[in-house]
A and B are shown apart, each in its own frame.
Chain A
Amino acid sequence: MKPFEPAQIPALEIDHVSHRYGARVALNDVSFVVRQSSFTVLLGLNGAGKSTLFSLITRLYAIRSGHIRIFGHDVGREPGPALSRLGVVFQSRALDVDISVRQNLMYHAALHGIASQRAAELMAQVLDRVAMADRSQDRVGDLSIGQMRRIEIARALLHQPCLLLLDEPTVGLDIKARADILDHVRRLSSTEGIGVLWATHLIDEARSSDNVVVLHKGRVLANGMVRDIVGQSGGADLREAFNRLTGAADQTEPEAAR
Chain B
Amino acid sequence: MTVAVEATDPHSLSLAQYFICLKGIVWREALRFIHQRERFVSALVRPLVWLFIFATGFRQVLGVSIIPPYETYVLYEVYIAPGLIAMIQLFNGMQSSLTMVYDRETGGMRTLLVSPFPRWWLLTSKLLAGTIVSVLQVYAFLLIAWFWDIEPPPLGYLALLPALLLSGFMLGALGMLISSLIKQLENFAGVMNFVIFPMFFASSALYPLWRVKESSLLLYYVCEFNPFTHATELIRFALYEQVNWISLAVVLGCTIVFLFGAILAYDPARGFLARRNTPAG
Contact = CB atoms under 8 A, between A and B. Distances in A.
Interface of A: 3-6, 9, 21, 24, 26, 46-52, 54-55, 58-62, 71-73, 76, 79-86, 88, 90-96, 98-99, 103, 106-116, 152, 167
Contact of A90 (B4, B9, B24, B110): B110
B64 to A, nearest CB: 43
Given A47-B280, A73-B2, A110 B107 contact: no
Contacts of B154: none
A86 B11 CA distance: 11
B281 A113 contact: no
Interface of B: 1-2, 4-6, 8-14, 16-18, 20-21, 23-25, 27-28, 31-32, 35-36, 104-108, 110-118, 122, 267-271, 273-274, 278-281
Contact of B279 (A52, A95, A110): A52
Most buried by A among B1, B32, B111: B111
Given A110-B23, A113-B17, A46 B1 contact: no
B27 A107 contact: yes
A83 B106 CA distance: 19
Given A72-B1, A88-B114, A96-B32, 6 more contacts: A72-B5, A80-B11, A93-B108, A94-B110, A106-B24, A113-B21
Contact of A111 (B115, B267, B268): B115
A94 B107 CA distance: 4
Contacts of B2: 72-73
A46 B11 contact: no
Contacts of B267: 62
Contacts of B11: 3, 80-81, 84-85
Contact of B108 (A24, A94, A103): A94
A107 B12 CA distance: 19
A116 to B, nearest CB: 8
Q: Across chains A and B, which 4 residue pairs bring their CB atoms closest together, nearest first? A: A110-B24, A94-B107, A113-B17, A51-B281
B5 A6 contact: yes
A114 B24 CA distance: 10
Residue among A6, A24, A73, A111 with max Cβ neighbours from chain B (10 Å)? A111
A158 to B, nearest CB: 11
Contacts of A73: 2, 5
